[in-house]
């Protein structure tokens, strides 16, 4: 098993937000500012590049307002690409749209044949694939995806997404091969046996969705106690503004597919 394969990356795929992003799914009904969203997305892409990743930026898809969140229709574990089956009806076409781009990058792709799975419900560690059942990911999808991941030397495991939380990774992230950053609510569910868990400070639970990219932990601005805690734990953090992203129930992991190519 390659240590650090869960956060050592050479490449990433992002998609530009379209003008239609203002009509993206939002549990609060708040619309994102199109121009601010584009600015924040551009900074996010540049931050990935500064972390040592070659970023493939795909054109906007106006027909799919949420298509900027490329993590949900696909998964890129162990140098491969798996096209998933998103759980929201308005996003069904995103998988077909991204498949040719991934095939161009990877050469071949695997397509999930049944069930529903959003990539935002999948936390990959070096050894496991923690798959959260949610409104977007069902058991049939888990059962279809599991053998594919097993062939890539991951052990799939069902976990329960906290009630009222859109995606499993809304409440947790991977910091290194042995450490997970999670909300107290999710930690209390007992889904992280064998891992060291750092909990989000009280009132900063929304900081749980961050991404480790090589030697950098990319987190959202506005969470000073989180940054202090991570810095004190030996992680190098960079904070980026993603307030417009959050208006559409999105987070930092949602906006990129990160992977390693030889």
Residue appearing with tokens 């500064």? 50
Give the N- to C-terminal CA distance of the chain in Å, as an integer: 16
Q: CA-CA distance, 217 to 229, in Å (whole number)? A: 12
Which pairing describes strands 82-83 and 74-75: parallel, antiparallel, or unpaired? antiparallel
Q: Please give the DSSP secondary-structure letter assigned to residue 4.
A: T
Contact 81, 105 (CB under 8 A): yes
Contact 78, 88 (CB under 8 A): no
DSSP string for residues in 192-242: -TTSEEEEPPTT-GGGG--EEETTEEEEESS-HHHHHHHHHTT--EEEE--
Phi and psi at residue 19, in whole multiples of 5°?
A: -65, -25
CA distances from residue 102 to 52, 69, 75, 110, 212 in whole angstroms, order as listed = 20, 15, 10, 10, 22
Provide the annotated active-site residues: 167, 254
Distance, CA of 64 to chain centre: 18
């Amino acid at each position: 098993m390659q240590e650090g394969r869960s956060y050592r990356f050479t490449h990433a795929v992002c998609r530009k937000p379209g003008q239609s992003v203002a009509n993206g799914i939002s549990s609060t009904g708040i619309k994102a500012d199109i121009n601010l969203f584009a600015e924040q997305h551009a900074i996010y892409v540049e931050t990935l590049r500064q972390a040592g990743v070659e970023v493939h930026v795909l054109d906007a898809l106006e027909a799919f307002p949420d298509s900027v969140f490329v993590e949900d229709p696909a998964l890129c574990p162990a140098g491969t690409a798996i096209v998933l089956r998103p759980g929201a009806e308005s996003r069904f076409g995103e998988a077909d749209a991204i498949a040719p781009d991934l095939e161009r990058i990877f050469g071949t792709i695997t397509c999930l044949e049944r069930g529903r799975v959003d990539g935002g419900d999948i936390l990959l560690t070096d050894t496991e694939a923690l798959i959260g059942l949610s409104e977007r990911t069902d058991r049939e999808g888990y059962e279809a995806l599991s053998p594919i991941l097993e062939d890539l030397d991951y052990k799939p495991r069902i976990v329960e997404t906290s009630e009222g939380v859109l995606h499993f990774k809304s409440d947790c992230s991977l910091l290194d091969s042995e450490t997970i950053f999670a909300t107290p609510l999710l930690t209390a569910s007992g889904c992280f046996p064998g891992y060291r868990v750092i909990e989000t400070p009280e009132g900063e639970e929304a900081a749980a969705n961050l991404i480790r990219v090589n030697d950098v932990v990319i987190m959202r601005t506005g969470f000073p106690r989180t940054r202090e805690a991570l810095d004190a734990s030996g992680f190098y953090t960079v904070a980026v503004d993603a307030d417009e992203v959050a208006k559409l129930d999105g987070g930092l992991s949602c906006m990129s597919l990160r992977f390693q190519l030889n």
